[in-house]
Amino acid sequence: MGTGMGSVLRVLAGDRVSPPPVWLMRQAGRYLPEYRALRETAGGFLKLLLDPGAAAEVTLQPVRRFGFDAAILFSDILVVPWAMGQALAFEDGEGPRLSPALRDGPLVMALDAMATDATKLRPIIETVRRVRAGLPEGKALIGFAGGPWTVATYMVAGAGGDLEAARLVAFRDPLGFRMLVDRITNVTIGYLAAQIAAGAEAVQIFDSWAGVLSPAQFEQWVVGPTAQIVASVGHLAPVIGFPRGAGDRLCAYARETKVAAVALDETATPERLPMDLPVQGNLDPLALLAGGEALDREIDLVLARFADRPHILNLGHGIDRATPVAHVEQLLRRVRA
């Protein structure tokens, strides 16, 4: 189906839309009963996201239930290292595991032993096609990938949460780490271009661990690779950058990467960003979890904060799995009133 110029794409083009369009990071997933029912029959998370029919259904579920203004592709940032040759498994209660962990030996040798196979990503590209065909008129389809720095943290540690491992390797083996980030960047460019060709109308770069870096490292491992990605695919579709925890480095990030829009975490403020730069965010996910009067107050604050600029209402990070469906309904009623 065609989409015309929906509200999300209008904002990404620089228009102010009132009320602002709404979609939520991780809106397709564990807080939805229909997702949990499908997940039980899927035979594991990786099998689910590599099944185009099932993954397309999961992507469309929240749009169908809530009428969100965009669908976000149901996938995971770690399919890129999986395509690059690391084994990937999702352990219940423990999160993702990548093997071999790249901190265990010289990076250059480890990379030489890994063979990138982009054909492994074809099922995800087929999911994009199916979602595009199934989306109602005016609803945008947003593809995504992880920021190269954030993906590298998982590849080096072999799991999530250990951010010191990648920082240490970057100090000890700067040449090897540069090769790793460059390879992730190149695979990501091809992956995002394929998503756009299949029907994604915008893409988001999730750099969830950008905030742990020093200014010089932030420039090297976040800004540089993101600018490369934008230079390669930004003419094909708008790129939303999400450098979580960037703080006062947001202005330089926006200027130097040339992203079409900046997604803000719940700690970020937009005051120093250019007034014509589209922004996305930044409701606290815990306010959504809390609901009630607290949620209404936070929504009103966010709406006031961004009233004079192009704005997509979203969370400052992913929706908490324990969030009641009724709280999401409350959010949409409040914004659209």
- Residues annotated as part of the active site: 26, 30, 39, 76, 154
DSSP SS3 for 95: strand
DSSP SS3 for 176: helix
- DSSP code at position 316: S
Residue 119 neighbours by CB under 8 Å, 6+ apart = none
Exposure letters 171-190 (e unless 16+ CB within 10 A, then b):
eebeebbebbbebbbbbbbb
Q: Which of 101, 97, 77, 80 is nearest to 89 (CA)?
A: 97
Q: Which of 69, 65, 78 is nearest to 124 (CA)?
A: 78
Residue 204: beta bridge partners? 144, 240
Q: What are the backbone angles phi and psi of residue 85, rounded to the nearest 5°?
A: 120, 0
Angle at which helices 174-198 and 224-233 cross, to 10°: 30
> CB burial class (10 A; 0-12, 13-18, 19+) of residue 161?
exposed
